[in-house]
Amino acid sequence: MSESSAIPEEFKNHVSPEKDWKEIVAWVGDLPPLPHVAAQALGLIEDPDTTAGQLTELLGGDTALAARVLKIANSAMFSRQREITTINQAIMTIGFKTLKGIIVAATLRQLNRKFGPIEQMIWQNSACTAIACRKVAAHLKKPYVEEVFLLGLLHDLGKLVLMRQIPKEYKEIVATTEGGVIFNDAEQEKFGFAHPLIGALVAKKWNFSLETCQVILHHHDPLPASIEDDVQEKTAVVQLADAVAHSLGYGHTDGYPDAQESMEQIGALFGMEAEDLESVKAETKEMFDEMGSVFM
């Protein structure tokens, strides 16, 4: 994302005219970096020459992170019939791509040290959306099941950051949504920007891929009539999964707009009919009911 004097193209429609986009970039720049061990681990995972032993040694140096990784690795979504008792077993059993998602899940959960009702609401939506992403991608027979799990976890990163940094103001946003206003609109009205932009900027600061940043940035934008590239397709999967999570009741206050119509509209882009969507919803609910507490 460019930081020249002219407003970058990707900021357009995401920043109100009266808001200085450079102030937003500066504010994000002052946020804490990704925790050291997690950042190192994600860097190692991206290196094709990395060995399981290197990752085991690194993660073993962060007891809290290692414990959460093992807890998630043993959940119903990732376990492979036998209990995983060591980080090395986890890496060898579930693979690097899945490990990346688990490390991100463990790290994001640690972002909000105070874990009140609002944090739980946001995190439930993130976890449920991640599960739904896997279910949608598997239903569509896409090759990026693990990748979209990560995108689902990260899509509301901006909400987690805003709640962590400005909790009083963000509680006012949550109160506004009780009147039927969606988060994105309430944030834009109050701040002049919304959580997708903050999430994308933080993901960039944490060295996630450009594609990941783009999906986060656009996950509330209107989708095109037909999907033309990978970013649009993965963004649509995340939007559909987010609608599934909201339709199941995860991630919003009472009075929030119903997500059923949105889910059906996005599903139609993939040729998914009502029974397909209900199947994905049912599978997501079953998985979340079984393992949702693992992410809390």
pLDDT digits (tens, 9 = 90+) for 93-134: 778 888 888 888 888 877 666 778 998 899 999 999 999 999
- Whether residues 38 and 144 fall in one domain: no
> Is residue 9 in some structural domain?
no
**Residue 185 sits in the same domain as residue 260:** yes
Q: Are 171 and 118 in contact (CB under 8 A)?
A: yes
User: Do residue 118 and residue 223 come from a single domain?
Assistant: yes
Mean pLDDT calculated for residue range 40-62: 92
Report the alpha-carbon angle 170-247-156, nearest 5: 35
Count of the separate structural domains present in the chain: 2
Reported as a single tens digit per residue, the pLDDT across 52-97 is: 999 999 999 988 888 888 888 887 777 666 788 899 988 887 788 8
- For residue 33, name the pLDDT band (cuts at 50, 70, 90): confident
Domain end residue (candidates: 95, 111, 127): 111
Domain-located, residue 99: yes
For residues 29 and 211, what is the distance between their CA atoms, to the nearest angstrom? Answer: 20
Range of the domain at 169: 114-296
Instruction: Say what the pLDDT of residue 79 is.
Output: 65
195 by DSSP, 3-state: which? helix
User: Could you identify the residue written with the tokens 């959306």?
Assistant: 129
> What are 148-173's pLDDT values in tens digits?
999 999 999 999 999 989 999 999 99
**Selected residue with higher pLDDT from 219 and 110:** 219
d(CA 93, CA 102): 13
What was the pLDDT predicted at 253? 86
Q: Is residue 27 a contact partner of residue 161, using CB atoms and an 8 Å limit?
A: no
Residue 113 is predicted with a pLDDT of 66
Average pLDDT on 242-265 reads 92
Mean pLDDT over each residue of the chain, to the nearest integer: 89
- Which positions ≥6 away from 288 have C-beta within 8 Å? 127, 128, 131, 248, 250
Residue 2 pLDDT greater than 70, yes or no: no
For residue 186, is pLDDT > 50? yes
7 falls within a domain: no
Q: What share of the chain in percent tops pLDDT 70?
A: 95
Residue pair 246/256 in contact by the 8 Å Cβ criterion = yes
What confidence tens digit (pLDDT) does each residue in 225-249 have? 888 899 999 999 999 999 999 999 9
Say if residue 129 is in the same domain as residue 48.
Answer: no
Among 56, 83, 111, give the residue marking a domain's end: 111
- Is 194 in the same domain as 243? yes
Instruction: Give the residue from 111, 139, 168 where a domain finishes.
Output: 111
pTM of the model: 0.90
Residue 173 sits in a domain whose CATH number is 1.10.3210.10
Q: pLDDT at residue 296 above 90?
A: no
pLDDT of residue 3: 46
Q: Looking at the predicted structure, is the pLDDT value of residue 42 above 60?
A: yes
